């Protein structure tokens, strides 16, 4: 056997050939994903046709859009029957859509700043890898935001904060003796501090505060939705946890109070509660007292969503095996400890999708306040803007704008909750 006997010997490897065109790149992707079988192909073609038709309406509507006229009639003059949106209403009234029509124009930076700070305040709560010290800012944020948005003397939020501090100090001092003495002592101390603070503010009666005071009824636009949504969600989650625990309590009085509260609130439509807050309460209060309308609405929406969140969390509690509760007891933990260390972390993790569901629904429900003549984003559109003779008849542009704003927020919330679920996925996978 010698080398010459073989006619051909390959000394080196054939260079790798690319896969055939039908098996690579975009074509492969299209074949696999869009035309893998007859049904898929038909669906793909139908989808393309519908997208095309949609685009023939939407694209010229946006591209031909008019942005700088002063009335709908002028828009129509410019468009001359061509398809196109009249976005001028957005460029003229954007401030009313975002802040309502009565918030002073030169003060718009205040709610905007409060909105930006909201991210800083929410971050340490939402992302627990951040340093825990940032939570101090979160604790201060409600007072800062209140001062920024409502203005007035800075003393009011400071005294409100001091009331909480006083309450906490009393609670911390007495809770070791008895939980109830601590709790009620703390509440009492807080009220005493608020009362004294209120008197001091009244006595000083500062005429020209640093930030001009803006009354509640001047709040409006998307700002009002954000205020209601943020405040109500952050209040209703802790309240919902308490209600859910109360409903499972061994103490009959507490259990029955929680059951009646939850079942009553869940049995009544939100809009009814809002009407009660708006019209009926005015008759029970002595004439002349003005109980802030936003506060009334916040209380009603918070009660409403707290009842729902309580039921979601109860579902989470019920999903835990009985062994978890017994484990807590066998370790010698008391009720508060076993709840805090063993039960709630697991139950809340199970409840996340449900809680987020309620939160997103709640945020969108804040638009219901438009029926009690508060001018949130939808109220602004339905009332003053469409009621102005110049813009009467512009629907798609305005409602589309509202839809985009709400979508951004709700989609953000839902993305966060999915991240949170992945982050907390420590169980059997």
Partner 1 sequence: MKKSLFIGALTAAVVTGGVAGAATLDDVKARGKLNCGVTTGVPGFAAPDANGKWEGFDVAVCRAVAAAVLGDSEAVEFVPTTGKTRFTALASGEIDMLARNTTWTFSRDTDLKFEFTGVNYYDGQGFIAPKALGVTSAKDLDGATVCIQTGTTTELNLADFFRSNNISYEPVPIETNSEAQQQYLAEACDTYTTDASALAATRATFENPGDHVILPEIISKEPLGPLVRHGDNEWGDIVRWTLNALISAEELGITSANIGELSGGTNNPEINRILGTEGNLGEMIGLDAEWAKRAIMAGGNYGEVFEKNIGENTPVGLARGLNAQWTDGGLIYSPPFR
Closer by beta carbon to partner 1, 97 or else 298? 97
Interface pick for partner 1 out of 25, 269, 361, 393 (rule CB under 8 A): 393
Among 142, 182, 353, 383, binds partner 1 (CB under 8 A): 383
Q: Which stretch binds partner 1 (CB under 8 A): 6-14, 133-141, 240-248, 377-385?
A: 377-385
Q: Which is nearer to partner 1, 103 or 171 (CB)?
A: 103
Residues 318 and 322: their CA atoms lie apart, in Å, by 9
Q: To the nearest whole angstrom, how small is the minimum distance from the Cβ of residue 408 to partner 1? A: 24
To partner 1, the closest distance from the beta carbon of 278 in angstroms equals 7
373 counts as binding partner 1 under rule CB under 8 A: yes
Residue 295 interacts with partner 1 (CB under 8 A): yes or no = no
Q: Which of residues 298-337 bind partner 1 (CB under 8 A)?
A: none
Tell me if 235 contacts partner 1 by CB under 8 A: no
Task: Give Cβ neighbours of residue 20 (< 8 Å, ≥ 6 apart).
Answer: none
Distance CA 227, CA 179 (A): 33
Q: Which residue has tokens 């991240």?
A: 419
223 binds partner 1 per the rule CB under 8 A? no
Measuring CA to CA, how many Å separate 293 from each of 230, 280, 364? 17, 12, 19
69 binds partner 1 (CB under 8 A): no
Task: Output phi, psi for 19, to 5 deg.
Answer: -60, 155
Q: Is 270 in the site for partner 1 (CB under 8 A)?
A: no
**Cα–Cα distance between 305 and 231 in angstroms, integer?**
12
Q: Which is nearer to partner 1, 316 or 379 (CB)?
A: 379
Note whether 28 binds partner 1 by CB under 8 A: no
Which region, judged by CB under 8 A, interacts with partner 1, from 53-61, 142-150, 224-232, 375-383? 375-383
The answer to whether residue 397 forms part of the interface with partner 1 (CB under 8 A) is no
The helix/strand/coil state of 66 is strand
Which listed range, 57-65, 128-136, 305-313, 366-374, lies at the site for partner 1 (CB under 8 A)? Answer: 366-374
CB atoms within 10 A of CB 325: 15
Distance CA 79, CA 60 (A): 11
- Within 8 A by CB and 6+ apart from 414, the residues are 356, 360
- Under the criterion CB under 8 A, does residue 269 sit at the interface with partner 1? no
Q: Contacting partner 1 (CB under 8 A), which of 66, 87, 96, 312?
A: 96
Based on CB atoms, which residue is closest to partner 1, 131 or 287?
287
SS3 376: strand
Enumerate residues 6+ apart whose C-beta is below 8 A from 308. Answer: 240, 266, 358
Burial class (CB in 10 A: 0-12, 13-18, 19+), 407: exposed
Q: Choose between 134 and 371: whose C-beta lies nearer to partner 1.
A: 371
Which stretch in 14-22, 29-37, 221-229, 367-375 sits in contact with partner 1 by CB under 8 A?
367-375
Phi/psi for 274 (5° steps) reads -65, -40
> Would you state the structure tokens that stand for residue 429, as one six-digit string?
């996978």
Instruction: Give how far Cα 178 sits from Cα of 15, 166, 306, Å.
Output: 82, 18, 28
Q: Which residue has the tokens 């998307």?
A: 222
Q: Is 365 near partner 1 (CB under 8 A)? A: no
Contact call for residue 87 and partner 1 (CB under 8 A): no
Examine residue 386 and tell whether it contacts partner 1 (CB under 8 A): yes
372 binds partner 1 (CB under 8 A): yes
Does 110 interact with partner 1 (rule: CB under 8 A)?
Answer: no
Contact 123, 141 (CB under 8 A): no
Closest CA to 362 of 294, 308, 299: 308
- Is the CB of 102 or the CB of 364 nearer to partner 1? 102
Binding of partner 1 at residue 76 (CB under 8 A)? yes
Site stretch for partner 1 (CB under 8 A), options 41-49, 150-158, 205-213, 370-378: 370-378
Q: Which residues bind partner 1 (CB under 8 A)?
A: 71-73, 76, 92-93, 96, 101-102, 105, 275, 278-280, 282-283, 287, 371-373, 375, 379, 382-390, 392-393, 395
């Amino acid at each position: 056997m010698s080398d010459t006997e073989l006619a051909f010997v390959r000394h080196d490897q054939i260079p790798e050939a690319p896969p055939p065109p039908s098996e690579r790149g975009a074509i492969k992707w299209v074949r696999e994903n869009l035309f893998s079988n007859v049904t898929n192909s038909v669906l793909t073609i139908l989808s393309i046709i519908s997208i095309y038709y949609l685009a023939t309406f939407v694209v010229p509507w946006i591209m031909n859009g008019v942005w700088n006229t002063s009335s709908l009639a002028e828009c129509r003059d410019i468009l001359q029957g061509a398809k196109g949106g009249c976005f001028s209403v957005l460029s003229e009234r954007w401030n009313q859509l975002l802040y309502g029509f009565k918030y002073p124009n030169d003060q718009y930076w205040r709610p905007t700043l409060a909105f930006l700070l909201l991210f800083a305040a929410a971050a340490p709560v939402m992302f627990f890898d951040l340093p825990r010290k940032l939570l101090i800012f979160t604790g201060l944020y409600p007072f800062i935001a209140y001062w920024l948005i409502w203005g007035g003397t800075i003393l009011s939020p400071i005294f409100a904060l001091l009331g909480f501090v006083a309450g906490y100090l009393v609670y911390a001092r007495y809770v070791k003796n008895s939980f109830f003495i601590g709790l009620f002592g703390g509440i009492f101390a807080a009220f005493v501090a608020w009362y004294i603070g209120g008197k001091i503010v009244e006595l000083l009666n500062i005429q020209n505060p640093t930030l001009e005071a803006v009354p509640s009824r001047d709040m409006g636009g998307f700002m009002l939705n954000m205020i209601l949504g943020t405040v109500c969600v952050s209040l209703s989650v802790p309240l919902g946890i308490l209600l859910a625990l109360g409903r499972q309590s061994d103490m009959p009085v507490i259990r029955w109070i929680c059951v009646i509260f939850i079942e009553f609130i869940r049995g009544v439509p939100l809009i009814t509660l809002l009407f009660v807050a708006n019209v009926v309460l005015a008759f029970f209060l002595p004439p002349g007292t003005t109980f802030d309308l936003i506060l009334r609405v916040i209380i009603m929406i918070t009660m409403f969503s707290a009842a729902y969140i309580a039921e979601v969390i109860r579902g989470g509690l019920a999903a835990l095996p009985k062994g978890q509760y017994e484990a807590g007891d066998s370790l010698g933990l008391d009720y508060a400890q076993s709840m805090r260390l063993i039960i709630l972390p697991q139950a809340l993790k199970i409840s996340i999708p449900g809680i987020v569901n309620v939160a997103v629904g709640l945020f969108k429900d804040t638009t219901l306040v438009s029926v009690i003549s508060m001018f949130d984003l939808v109220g602004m559109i339905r009332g003053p803007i469409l009621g102005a003779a110049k813009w009467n008849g512009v629907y798609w542009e305005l409602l589309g704008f509202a839809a985009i704003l709400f979508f951004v927020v709700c989609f953000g919330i839902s993305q966060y909750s999915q991240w949170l679920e992945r982050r907390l996925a420590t169980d059997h996978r």
